[in-house]
Structure 1
């Protein structure tokens, strides 16, 4: 008599992972993403005098738009963590799909400023900041997910 393997769980090729490790790293990644947004605004607005997201009258630190940009970057990292969690639960080769999805979202975020009527220097500055944020989220959440999978395997064995 042959046994039928279930189409879910570890037998189906989905790794076991530590959700606690994944989300702890996801929150740390969110903090890094928010700080990249802040540093990017400081560099472009403060050093190069290029407006990013808000008019120059808001000063080097900017106004609420800088805080909003930081929050959006942090939320992006948390969404990426949620996506990694969902894919690890449901998808074979989860991190390959994760990389493609986050990579394409990063490309869209880097290109999006060029669809506005802003000055070219502002478009370039915002696109660069978005690109760096996306690369950081992709690399950090991917590394955290790999660590979470390794921890999950160690907890089982």
Structure 2
């Protein structure tokens, strides 16, 4: 659930005789010498995500607050556009300094609302009522579950074309 590490490469390098299922084609690209039986995308029960056809007037970011997810880019984009943004997620133990340095100063802007870490119902409410979900991941993310969850709600996602995002987002549709 993060960037590929040298430890992971070494681990899988010694297990090339096994068969693997990946969560995206992008994940297979990270370990091209393994034997894959296929791709099994992460999933959720769509019935748990209400389809909202008239969203509220805000953007959202939902994810870890760390340098891998780059939520500061989502916040800066919203501010530059003059749009409200609601941001929520976990402050990763490795992201404490990042949050204080990059995020906390942006929270002073009246366009930014910080919601903290959310439970499932609040997460669904945030995604389903947003005009757009922002997903500016800074690494080759193997799968972005919030992208799928937003799509279930009818909320489009704007993301950087990196990692599995081209597999999850159809331009002009999702």
TM-score, length-scaled by structure 1: 0.25
Higher helix share: 1
Higher strand share: 2
Report which of the two structures shows the higher radius of gyration computed on alpha carbons.
1
